[in-house]
Amino acid sequence: MSLTVHQFPCLSDNYGFLVRDEATGTTATIDTPDADAILAQLDRLGWTLDLILNTHWHPDHAGGNAAIQAATGATIVGPPEVTRIAPLDRSVGQGDTVMLGETPLAVIDTGGHTLGHIAYHDAADRIAFVGDTLFALGCGRLFEGTPEQMWGSLSKLAALPDDTTVYCAHEYTAANARFALSVDDAPALRDRAEAVFAARERGEPTVPTTIGLEKATNPFLRAPLLRPHLTPADAFGEIRAAKDGFKG
């Protein structure tokens, strides 16, 4: 019951994640942003790929499915919408469990960015792979879902233990921090934003994050506090719309 996560940047601002169950050596890639980059990392680590775990159907998440499956024979697991653009062997949704070797990964429906978006949660190790639902200081755009749906999805993630490590699929944190500072003056946010800008200057990643840190500083999770006169979902929707129009 322990996972090793190998994170690496790919495409312009995506992260790739190779995840290995230490007890069995069973290995998965979370999404397939860049087939060549993922295959090169597997080679470098000497890991053999068994599973492709998709979070949603967007090309920077499922676009490498066919090439990686052809090269490794890995089984592809994901939400049904993946078949819009890529092969899928097993379709999963809320309440399903995917075994990575001996480690159970619970599937959490986190629709909103796309309708069939899912996250993978390893409760024992307190690790979650959240795709484009929750970002460090941000959240995914609503391409297919409603504010109500996305607020429900973010609330499920926010209910995980504070010390849960959150692997988000993009390095958007500096831009998210500039927006966050425009809508929220929490002292914890100012300190975090400074740390984020400094880390990015040094070329360091700001992912992973934690549920506790996001609850304290992410304006999308803090929306009901920032817009107390609105319902939580409407408060979230207003902050999301402001971000969509933000020129930082």
Tell me if 132 contacts Fe ion by CB under 5 A: yes
- If binding is defined by CB under 5 A, does position 60 make contact with Fe ion? yes
Q: How far apart are CB 129 and Zn ion at their closest, in Å?
A: 13
Stretch near Zn ion under the rule CB under 5 A, chosen from 8-16, 84-92, 119-127, 129-137: 129-137
| Closest to 128 measured CA to CA, from 148, 149, 108 | 108
Helix (H, G, I), strand (E, B) or coil at 129: strand
Stretch near Fe ion under the rule CB under 5 A, chosen from 36-44, 57-65, 187-195, 240-248:
57-65
CB of 60 or CB of 109, closer to Fe ion? 60
Q: What is the dihedral of CA 110, 111, 116, 119, to 10 degrees?
A: -20
Cα 20 from Cα 50, distance rounded (Å): 10
**Smallest gap, in angstroms, from Cβ of residue 1 to Zn ion?**
30
**Residues binding Fe ion: what is the number (CB under 5 A)?**
2
Residue 34 interacts with Fe ion (CB under 5 A)? Answer: no
Nearer Cβ to Fe ion, position 109 or 171?
Answer: 171
- Pick the closer one to Zn ion by CB: 58 or 121: 58
What is the rounded CA–CA span in Å between residue 201 and residue 195? 10
Binding to Zn ion by residue 132, rule CB under 5 A?
Answer: yes
117 is a contact residue toward Zn ion (CB under 5 A): no
Q: DSSP strand E in the chain: where?
A: 3-10, 14-21, 27-30, 51-53, 75-78, 90-91, 97-100, 103-109, 118-122, 127-131, 134-135, 138-139, 165-168, 209-210
Please report how close the Cβ of residue 60 comes to Fe ion at its closest, in angstroms: 4
Binding partner of residue 243 among Fe ion, Zn ion, none, CB under 5 to 8 Å per kind? none
Q: What's phi and psi for 29, nearest 5 deg?
A: -105, 135
Residues 54-83 that bind Zn ion (CB under 5 A): 58
34 interacts with Zn ion by CB under 5 A: no
Exposed e or buried b per residue across 78-115, where buried means at least 16 C-beta atoms within 10 angstroms of its C-beta:
bbebbeeebebeebbeeeeebebbebebebbbbbbbbb
Residue 13 CB, nearest distance to Zn ion (Å)? 12
Residues that bind Fe ion (CB under 5 A): 60, 132
Residues that bind Zn ion (CB under 5 A): 58, 132
